[in-house]
Structure 1
Amino acid sequence: MLNPRLASRYAKSLIDISTEQNVLEDILKDMQMIDMVCRQNRDFLMLMRSPVIKADKKFAIVDAIFNGRVAPLTAAFVKLLINKGREQNLDEIAQAFIQQYRFIKKIKTVRLTTAVPVDSEVIEVLKNKIAAAFSESSIQIETKTDPSLLGGFVLDLGDRQLDASVARDLNDIRKQFTGNLYVPKY
């Protein structure tokens, strides 16, 4: 069950304590790893959300997965979530932590969708052009491939989208032909 307010509060608390202990970057890496584990392993996520599995079993499983791979603060935080019965929100909390970190560090995330994979040189050029427009922020580019675009790209930056794909161009042409006033409809 989604609970963005709860996730935001726990993430904020973790950011505050990790900033206080000067381990914010380490905790960010841990939260990114936890987010990746939750996204890639549905069984782990279902286990954490299951009310049937007792807390001591969840402790053992989390310890087996993350022991030695995460900072002690992260391990203690995950155990706190299990103690409080909030482990079902672990994925949301990790995502909220990453979002709040990006907000604090003024990192803009740009999503680039192309029909084929893009070279790192092209990504760097694009990153520099976007960074020039947002001088106070640093830019992070996430790439994704979608063969249905046929060619070109779609660039998402927050609530803005630049669609320069061949698929959109073809749809625009199709609309022009179907709405052509000069051709009588038979």
Structure 2
Amino acid sequence: MDLGLISVRYARALLKASNQEKQSEQVYADMQTLAAEYINVPELSVTIANPMLSKEQKETLLIAATGSTKCDLTRRFIQLVLKEGRSGIMQFIANSFVTQYRVQNNLIQAKLSTAAALSPETESKLRKLVESKTNGKVEFSASVDEDLIGGFVLEYDTYRLDASVKRQLSTILSNLKQ
């Protein structure tokens, strides 16, 4: 069976259960943390796939990777995944859950990179701009990238607005080479 299909089914079941138990926000936070830990600690997937580890050890490791969750539903779900022998796809399940939760709640991820730190007022204005364009709530992350020299790069959905000095200089340079 297809790994993607299996992980989507598990994630869909978890989303349905979390909605019924009114714990979807907590489970969402847990799955976001778990998905991020798989990226930040590449050894996690290798360790979870190790057949020498017991289910209890894997459970302890996965719960620690969620930030030692206080959410009973997340804990029970991890136990179910381990019981069914699906620990190897836990990363895919977490990512699929995060995606499905965002679709269900009309959450848009937006990333803003600027050459210098922005004031909270400016960041708030940009957040409202993206919300007005997408008709959804925005999860906004801002970072400073000094390589931009000046300006900003705003990314959300499939859109990218690059108003950086770096891009403008690059465009001028490529026009001069022609």
Could you state the TM-score of these two structures normalised by the residue count of structure 2? 0.85
Structure 1 position 41 matched with structure 2 position 41: yes
Structure 2 stretches of 5 or more lacking a match? none
Q: Which amino acid aligns with 1:163?
A: D
Matched residues in 2 for 1:101 and 1:165: separation? Answer: 32
Structure 1 position 12 matched with structure 2 position 19: no
Q: Which amino acid aligns with 2:43?
A: D
* Contact 1:66-1:75 within 8 A present in 2 as well: no
User: Structure 1: which 4+ aligned runs deviate by more than 6 Å?
Assistant: 64-68
Measured at CA, do residues 65 and 165 of structure 1 come closer, stay the same or move farther in structure 2, by a change above 3 Å?
A: closer
Matched residues in 2 for 1:14 and 1:168: separation? Answer: 43
Equivalent residue, structure 2, for 1:76: 76
* Contact 1:48-1:88 within 8 A present in 2 as well: yes
Deviates more, 1:43-52 or 1:118-127: 43-52
Q: Which amino acid aligns with 2:161?
A: L
Equivalent residue, structure 2, for 1:140: 139
Shift of residue 144, structure 1, vs aligned partner:
3.0
Matches within 5 A, 1:3-152: 3-62=3-62, 69-134=69-134, 136-152=135-151
Q: Which amino acid aligns with 1:117?
A: A
* Contact 1:150-1:165 within 8 A present in 2 as well: yes
Structure 1 stretches of 5 or more lacking a match? 180-186
Identity %: 25
Q: For 1:85, what is the secondary structure of its paired residue? A: coil
Q: Which amino acid aligns with 1:123?
A: E
Q: For 1:9, what is the secondary structure of its paired residue? A: helix
Q: Which has the larger radius of gyration?
A: 1
Could you state the TM-score of these two structures normalised by the residue count of structure 1? 0.82
Deviation track 1:136-161 (CA, whole Å, cap 9, x = no partner) reads: 31122122333322221111111111
Q: For 1:153, what is the secondary structure of its paired residue? A: strand
Matched residues in 1 for 2:140 and 2:61: separation? Answer: 34
Measured at CA, do residues 5 and 154 of structure 1 come closer, stay the same or move farther in structure 2, by a change above 3 Å?
A: farther
Equivalent residue, structure 1, for 2:174: 175
